[in-house]
Structure 1
Amino acid sequence: MMLLLRLFYEFAKIGLFAIGGGMATIPFLTKLASTTGWFTETDLLNMIAVSESTPGPIGVNTATYVGYHIAGFQGALIATLGLITPSVIVILIIFQFLKKFGDSKYVKAVMYGLRAASAGLIAAAGFLVAKVTLFHPEAWGTGNVMALFNGRALLVALILVYLTRRFKSVHPIAFLAASAVVGIVFHFSM
């Protein structure tokens, strides 16, 4: 029972402070991994990959995944409820507030600031994924500069950046599916 309460509490904190969507939860999930030991950084990256390639918001998918990993079906349910409950409450409060004060310059300034915070959290998540996927920081100091880079992953990332820029009309799921196939065919692993 204490584990379920802790799951709810930890994910409620994430749900309350991860402003800007699912990618904004990643820095909080990284901290959760280091403080609880419930999952590793590699597990987190796998969760992100699965969550991004399945229907639904990444934060909810990841909460469900972690909860299930820790405490089965009950854990999945509790972690998911923990993540979404603060958001629902905050949205209801903000809705009432914005009905009354939505035209205020101060409210508009707060919303602008929240967008900047959201962008920062999403950028931090991107840097974490890039660091673990594209680089080998443990090779620092070995004198072998090339050992710092994961060449295959960098090549795939560069190709995907090019293709997503070149073919903007192609749905992102097509790129995710192609990346999954490339990972399987070329036996990518962490």
Structure 2
Amino acid sequence: MGLNRELFGIFFKIGIGTIGGGYAMIPMMERELVDRKGWISREEFMDIMAVAQTAPGVFAVNMSSHIGHKLGGITSGIVATIANILPSFLIILALAFGFRHVQDNIWVEYAFRAIRPVVVALIAVPVFTMARSAKLNRYTWWIPVLSAGLIYLFGVSPVYIILCAAFLGLTYGRLTAFGRNIKSRSKR
């Protein structure tokens, strides 16, 4: 089976099997692409998530296009993206035709009330998966907590937090490398 055909099947299944948007797709993508297929490592998956989150556009589309491109170039990126979008497009199209007739139905309202908390859980699961993959420890756990607090409580733009984290990470890396150089010179 060709890569593009396989990518289409995987991303179509992910697109049709997840309710709740891009973040709800993360566990399924990780299970299929990292655990089951072994096409990318967990670290590569985390890096792609970081890039997809910071890039403009829809997160799930960014993820699928980045992964497809990484695995097979531009054509595979387009195939993965179309496969990821197609189920939502078809479902929304079907709902648009049929929802007008049932939107005032009490049972439909109850169903949506029950789906909302499930969607919250689907979005929360990747947070724990990402924390595990990011290898948070007793020295670094405060970084995501502080970042979330700044965004939620004070409305700080995630862009500023990402830029600040990148700057601090680069500074820490340079200082650490500088300290190692000084230690190695003093031992000579």
Q: Establish whether TM, by shorter chain, passes 0.5.
A: yes
Q: State the partner residue of 2:171.
A: 185
Q: State the partner residue of 1:8.
A: 8
Aligned length: 173
Give the SS at the match of 1:186: helix
Residues 159, 116 of structure 1: alpha-carbon distance in 2 compared, 3 angstrom cutoff? closer
Q: Which deviates further from its counterpart, 27-36 or 171-180?
A: 171-180
Q: State the partner residue of 2:141.
A: 154
Per-residue CA deviation, residues 139-175 of structure 1 (Å, 9 max, x unaligned), is: xxxxxxxxxx251x3232233234334522x322222
Residues 85, 24 of structure 1: alpha-carbon distance in 2 compared, 3 angstrom cutoff? same
Runs of at least 5 residues in structure 1 that lack an aligned partner in the other structure: 136-148
Q: TM-score, normalised by structure 2?
A: 0.84
Q: State the partner residue of 1:31.
A: 31
Report 1:134-153 matches (<5 A).
Answer: 134-135=135-136, 149=137, 151=139, 153=140
Report 1:53-92 matches (<5 A).
Answer: 53-92=54-93
Q: TM-score, normalised by structure 1?
A: 0.84
Q: State the partner residue of 1:17.
A: 17
Q: Which runs of 4+ in 1 moved over 4 A?
A: none
Give the SS at the match of 2:104: coil
Give the structure with higher Rg (CA): 2
Give me the CA root mean square deviation.
1.8
1:176 equivalent in alignment to 2:177 = no
Deviation at 1:9, TM superposition (A): 0.6
Runs of at least 5 residues in structure 2 that lack an aligned partner in the other structure: 175-188
